[in-house]
Amino acid sequence: MLPQAGTHQHDEAQYTDSMAVPLFVVTPARLALEPLVAQVEITGRLDGEGCGAVCTFIGVVRRSHAGRTVRYLEYEAHATLAVRTFERIAHEAVERWPQATLAIHHRVGRLAVGETSVLVAAAAAHRDEAFRVCRYGIERVKQIAPVWKREVCEDGAHWIEGPVADPANDDLRRQALVRACA
């Protein structure tokens, strides 16, 4: 199922206050899984066989990376372009899995160890398809979404290489598909 129009940036008060949760969000607010899962399930019920499975991925700030102790992360994004990219990823997923629903929420700003940075939720008629769509979604986010991460560690800060790929690059899209279907 093709997703509803995306929402660009939400502040903390707006993020979970509305009845319908947008499928695509970039926000400084803490991310909430339950409202997103409920919205994906509702949207997934509207097509074909309906929703038989919802699969989620939660990206969490870990305390170490490459042997360094992480104090916190700072995420930056081009919010409007990121939402468009999330929509593009969902359209790609629907090309492969026509009755699936995909949602992506990404947080920006300073995040402490243990906080959620990204949520991906996928609904489909069957669990295998839901797992594949969810995995495809996060793989493509890492490849092409204009979201950048700065790690602040005990011994200094540095930017983690972010997406440098052309969203239309078919080789990268196939790589994400292979990972999702492994």
Query: pLDDT at position 170, please?
Result: 86
Query: pLDDT at position 1, please?
Result: 47
Which residue positions in the chain have pLDDT lower than 70?
A: 1-19, 162-165
Convert 126-165 into a string of H (helix), E (strand) and C (coil): CHHHHHHHHHHHHHHHHHHCCEEEEEEECCEEEEECCCCC
- The answer to whether residues 123 and 49 touch, using CB atoms and an 8 Å cutoff, is no
Report the SS3 class of residue 160: strand
Estimate the crossing angle of helix 79-96 against helix 127-144, to 10 degrees: 140
Query: pLDDT at position 12, please?
Result: 53
Query: pLDDT at position 9, please?
Result: 53
- The answer to whether residues 66 and 120 touch, using CB atoms and an 8 Å cutoff, is no
Where in the chain are the domains? 12-180
Query: pLDDT at position 20, please?
Result: 84
Phi, psi of 44 (to 5 degrees): -65, -25
Query: pLDDT at position 4, please?
Result: 47
Architecture of domain 12-180: Alpha-Beta Complex (3.90)
In whole angstroms, what is the distance from residue 81 CA to residue 13 CA?
Answer: 22
Query: pLDDT at position 101, please?
Result: 96
Model confidence pLDDT, tens digit, residues 36-72: 999 999 998 887 788 899 999 999 999 998 889 999 9
